Structure 1
């Protein structure tokens, strides 16, 4: 158990811990839309995994402290940091943990495609070999799809009822029920229906000019290295979304290659995800569509 102690009485009411590429940005936007929920600014603070040494005062400054509001944040990489679980439990033993899960094989493929977009400027012409090369280069694609492994430290640190498990599939199938369940879980009025219920966020895109795409991304990356420039860039992005609008001008309409996880993930990685899935299935009822996907992967 991490022996960290906190002298301050402040703590968030809930934290979203993952999983990456599982509609956590959508979940954040729905929670932020609620009049009695205050979400951190920006979304992914990564306090408990990457910035813990900055202290609780730094963490608290990302919340305005609106009177009477529940406070929460979502950082999907928390599920990839076992130490974060004990740090959270030390800060607030009553913390509620929100978890968005996606079919683990599909999550790995989506993660690969997202990174392929950054490397190649799109995914329309990316081959299975290209994606397999990425998968072999970094263990994160498989590791972050091993949900049982990722959730075990949190199940050890918190009672099971403090983990709210929600599924990516419901974002498309029944978003209103999903949002009501999320609101109820964190302790907010579940009768509220947000206006942005059906918006789509962070879809993988293709761009007409890979060169321009990389230039725009490169400018923002370079700017982020210098504090004064970074603050100016953050203001521009927050108020005009200039970068996104510019990239949208370069975007082509369609771009996802007709590839499956079985096409791109090495056999040992598929087996690793499958074994973790079977462990998780003993403690959480999975969506029917995931069960069908397992049958297909075993065929």
Structure 2
């Protein structure tokens, strides 16, 4: 029998994909990829390495295997590549209020560039947002999901919401288990943990040196292979990241203070299309009122306490 991953998570970025990976990784019947984001279907160099390269990132033969690479949603080729390679794989999607997602993404990148989340100004964010369309583009879910809805049966695509992490993380985790076909009664230990929100860096300089060194090392096949080997077998990267990040509050800055009215209109239009495509998925709160009324972005919902 030809091996196939049970499920493939495709995004969206900043929509609790790390939380979902953590929940699935805790389940004894699930084997998540190492490292977390394989980026197999969206990076040509990886895809050209073939299915055997992809397969070796999953350690347990008998378990339900899966991976989550949030950038898959941002590449229109990915749906066809997954369909042609693993047509039976389930497609796991995490979505978030698109305005909140864009702001969280922007704050995250700004924290890397400027270092202090709590001290970021509107000017800082406006300057960064004006340089890259990805913040809005990656919140256009209807456009991103259309190729997947065309390539796969609707019941093969599971769509879950970031906001449910805050309201009932345990139920969401167990819904994920049910979707991938494992015991949904399992209770993960970390379901109420906050994951991957914008944080300050202890050292901006050290973070930039580490990122530059990582990019340089990955440009040479021998060192890239060595790094992948270490990452698959240790928690070194995660340990360093945890040390670098210091949790701090975000300033109260709204989407409309940073992005143009055209960006708001674009997301509104995409939301209406998403509601037509997937009426059962889009919460009413995503559609009503101004962006500020739909979500207080400076006070991002956090997972509820146990």
TM score, norm. by length of structure 2? 0.85
Residue aligning to 1:47: 40
Looking at structure 2, the residues matched to 234 and 135 of structure 1 have their Cα atoms a distance apart, in angstroms, of 35
Aligned residues, how many?
Answer: 287
- TM-superposed CA distance for 1:151, in Å, is 0.2
Looking at structure 2, the residues matched to 228 and 54 of structure 1 have their Cα atoms a distance apart, in angstroms, of 15
Looking at structure 1, the residues matched to 242 and 105 of structure 2 have their Cα atoms a distance apart, in angstroms, of 23
**Distance change (3 Å), C-alpha of 1:278 and 1:202:** same
Which moves more between the two structures, 175-184 or 277-286? 277-286
**Distance change (3 Å), C-alpha of 1:209 and 1:37:** closer
1:31-60, CA deviations, whole angstroms, 9 ceiling, x for partnerless residues? 111111111111111111112111111101
Looking at structure 1, the residues matched to 267 and 172 of structure 2 have their Cα atoms a distance apart, in angstroms, of 26
Which moves more between the two structures, 199-208 or 216-225? 216-225
Residues 89-108 of structure 1 mapped to structure 2, 5 A cutoff = 89-108=83-102
1:218-258, CA deviations, whole angstroms, 9 ceiling, x for partnerless residues? 4544454556666369738934554235414xx3x524111
| 2:65 counterpart (52, 60, 71) | 71
Looking at structure 1, the residues matched to 13 and 191 of structure 2 have their Cα atoms a distance apart, in angstroms, of 20
8 Å CA contact retained: 1:121, 1:213: no
**Distance change (3 Å), C-alpha of 1:234 and 1:106:** farther
**Distance change (3 Å), C-alpha of 1:34 and 1:224:** same
Residue aligning to 2:2: 9
| 1:175 counterpart (142, 165, 169) | 169
**Distance change (3 Å), C-alpha of 1:260 and 1:296:** closer
8 Å CA contact retained: 1:18, 1:77: yes
Secondary structure of the structure 2 residue equivalent to 1:117? helix
**Distance change (3 Å), C-alpha of 1:114 and 1:53:** same
| 2:11 counterpart (18, 26, 30) | 18
1:239-282, CA deviations, whole angstroms, 9 ceiling, x for partnerless residues? 4554235414xx3x524111111111111111111100111012
Residues 105-120 of structure 1 mapped to structure 2, 5 A cutoff = 105-120=99-114
Residue aligning to 1:243: 240
Residue aligning to 2:302: none
Residue aligning to 1:3: none
Residue aligning to 1:194: 188
- TM-superposed CA distance for 1:82, in Å, is 1.2
Residue aligning to 1:289: 285
8 Å CA contact retained: 1:223, 1:233: no
Residue aligning to 2:266: 272
Looking at structure 1, the residues matched to 239 and 84 of structure 2 have their Cα atoms a distance apart, in angstroms, of 40
Secondary structure of the structure 2 residue equivalent to 1:99? strand
User: Does 1:214 find its partner at 2:211?
Assistant: no
**Distance change (3 Å), C-alpha of 1:175 and 1:224:** same
Looking at structure 1, the residues matched to 292 and 101 of structure 2 have their Cα atoms a distance apart, in angstroms, of 16
Unmatched tracts of structure 1, length 5 or more: 1-7
